Chain A
Amino acid sequence: MTTYARDPKLSSNDLEPARLRFDGVDKHYRGVDQTQRAGRRRSGRRGREEHWAVRDLSFEVGPNETLGLIGANGAGKSTLLRLAAGVSHPSAGAVTTAGRVAGILDLGGGFHPLLTGRENAVTGGILAGLSSQEAAERIEAILEFSELGSSIDDPLRTYSSGMFVRLAFAVAVHVDADLLLIDEALAVGDIAFRAKCLDHLAAVQARGTSIVFASHDSSQIRALSNRVMWLDGGRLRMLGAPEEVIGSFEMSMYDQTLAATPPGEERSGRLGSGEYEITSVDLTTREDRPANSIPSGWPLNIDITYRAHADVRHVIFGVSVHTERGERCFDVSTDGAGVAAPHGLRTGTARLSIERLDLVGGRYHVDAGIYTGDWSHALDYQWQARWMTVLGPRSRGPMAPPHSWGLS
């Protein structure tokens, strides 16, 4: 793991000022763009549509602190991060940062598609505060971390979103930031790289860097944060210890789902307001064979067949796999993968393809759900929709990745 010498003056102590401070911050966007507004004004000047993205936010993030952001889509997490980065300015109030700020804010943003990965990495390093000499020295470490190999010299427009995140992440953690801002970037990319990123973030935290990050994955939030902020409609709903805030947030989502569930259905392991109905969940492996029992390391396809009873504009499909004891092995969604699900269909199938099911032998259950686009509640959620038996050696953890030992 690469570590760099830090300025001793930046080592943490109680007297050090906050790395990030919001004082009564408001941010609103105009609902219509300027040219349209000019037209609108001529036609009698109706009230301007304004959209509040963030309202009256005040908080501080100190040195050595990691703040996790949770909340439904549109709750203001991305706006908060953009304000913290200084790429967007508050409509009222003040945002103050101290030290070097780096971040991954928008996938595809901040890099130029025509320049190569290497050129973009150097630009990223210099913009984040490295001198051109430091940037040149660190480029090798950045390339190594990104594992992009020779693709590093290809133009960025040829990159997949996974490759993009590798590069953006590699740059962000190699610039000795005092404040690191990450918006959902940890949800993209393959599991192995994500694990590596999480490991590296722990090292970054140990160096004293403050981190503010948004994630839909509550296990990531739990793993990294000292404090968690729950944003609801642009306002701070709750700020405190991770377990407490995440617990309240999940409880509220469960309550909203329960409130929307027609009476009499909650006992069957199903919840949801019912605009979408999961008609079946099917597990298959190679050659479309059913996967009631499946050898470890084989591919697994999970097909959610559904019927839409009403047109919901944005829906999210989610699947999670749990051990017999209820431990969550993984939890993915179309939202996390950045896939837009089609809407307006009467019936359809959403297929999740898992290239390798690297789980240890045992019994597992699959939960499937269809949610509203803002994650506010489930349209239909089936707990333990299917059970499957993974064939393979049992072990203590749930993972059984391909591995080998080298002894010398």
Chain B
Amino acid sequence: MSIVIRASSPAPQSTAFSRVTRQRDLMTHLVGREFRLRYRRSALGWLWSIAQPLARLLILSFIFTQVIPLNIDNYPVFLYSGLVVWVLFSSGVNAAASSVLDRSDLLLRPGLPRSILPVISVIGDSVDYLLALPVLLTFVVVGGIGLTPALVYLPILLVAEFLLVLGIGFALSPLQVRYRDVSRFIDVVMLLGFYATPVFYDPEEIPDGFRWLVDWNPMAHILRAHRSVILDGQWPGTPTVLGLLALGLGSTAAGLAIYRRSSPGFIDEL
């Protein structure tokens, strides 16, 4: 059993305060770098992050209002809120899981706190979510629901989802370093998940025999909480919110533990 004792990488004179500023500087810079890389030589830049959910919105709302009407009130708002939340989850998990491979150049530098890579990646996807919010709110206003005070609860739900995605990303990224199959696997799971999560249909319509699909699906709960805030203007209920936050924290803690265990070997396996 190897025991590794390392002094903290920042300079020894660093106080708790300067360590916080250092982490903040590092974070801000790396997130900015992430965006420069993502939108390099792209004329429309971040606008593309809205294009994806909008395209899905267009096609799905055509199908489920015109071709196979589902008769859900405010369907575009219902659908778009589901899409935004789902896209953060699916692309967030995907990007976080490959963050170590994608940014392996950074791992070759002394002074990089390793656990920062998935965090940077999930922050990047959360920024996409935030960019999609104004569009969502436009739908809310145009759809006649109006802006309710309950919308101030959205950040709490974002935090819960952020932590859930981060935890899964932490757990999967070491695995992806070892087995490149992981990203294919995630694609398949996300494809199934998109249909197993009530993104475009009403969860109430699910037959009793299949209710476990929604009951045991954390994304279904996050989605329901979002919709209760956006569509009904209601606090999703303290037990639900605390449950989601606990789930997020638990997932991050477990993921980080897995990540910490495997990260010493990254460089040797890249």
Residues of A within 8 A of B (CB): 7, 9-10, 29-30, 33-35, 82, 85-103, 105-106, 109-115, 119, 122-124, 126-129, 131-132, 135, 178, 181
Q: A98-B7, A100-B11, A132-B28 are in contact. Are A89 and B265 (CB under 8 A)?
A: yes
Q: Give, as a whole number of angstroms, the nearest-CB distance from A50 to chain B.
A: 12
Query: Is B25's beta carbon under 8 Å from chain A?
Result: yes
Encode contact with A along B1-22: 1 for CB under 8 Å, 0 otherwise. 0111111011111000000011
A112 to B107, CA, bound (A): 11
Report whether A34 and B264 are in contact in the complex, using a CB–CB cutoff of 8 Å: no
Report whether B268 and A29 are in contact in the complex, using a CB–CB cutoff of 8 Å: yes
A7 to B13, CA, bound (A): 8
Q: A33-B269, A115-B37, A119-B36 are in contact. Are A99 and B108 (CB under 8 A)?
A: no
A86 to B264, CA, bound (A): 9
Contacts of B36 in A (CB 8 A): 115, 119
Query: Is B179's beta carbon under 8 Å from chain A?
Result: yes
Report whether A98 and B12 are in contact in the complex, using a CB–CB cutoff of 8 Å: yes
Can you offer 25 A-B residue contacts whose CB atoms are under 8 A?
A10-B12, A35-B178, A86-B111, A90-B2, A91-B2, A95-B4, A96-B5, A99-B12, A100-B10, A100-B11, A102-B110, A103-B110, A110-B106, A110-B108, A112-B37, A119-B33, A122-B29, A127-B26, A127-B106, A127-B112, A128-B109, A129-B10, A129-B22, A129-B111, A132-B29
Instruction: Output the nearest chain B residue to A155 by Cβ-Cβ distance.
Output: B40
Q: A106-B108, A131-B25 are in contact. Are A34 and B269 (CB under 8 A)?
A: yes
Report whether B5 and A109 are in contact in the complex, using a CB–CB cutoff of 8 Å: no
Q: Give, as a whole number of angstroms, the nearest-CB distance from A103 to chain B.
A: 5
Contacts of B107 in A (CB 8 A): 87
Q: Give, as a whole number of angstroms, the nearest-CB distance from A356 to chain B.
A: 35
Query: Is B58's beta carbon under 8 Å from chain A?
Result: no
Residues 106 to 134 of chain B near chain A (Cβ within 8 Å): 106-112
Query: Is B267's beta carbon under 8 Å from chain A?
Result: yes
Report whether A112 and B109 are in contact in the complex, using a CB–CB cutoff of 8 Å: no
A95 to B33, CA, bound (A): 30
Determine which residue in B26, B40, B109, B112 has the highest number of CB atoms from chain A within 10 A of its CB, and name it. B109
Which of B26, B30, B109, B178 touches A124 (beta carbons < 8 Å)? B109
Which of A85, A88, A92, A102 touches B2 (beta carbons < 8 Å)? A92
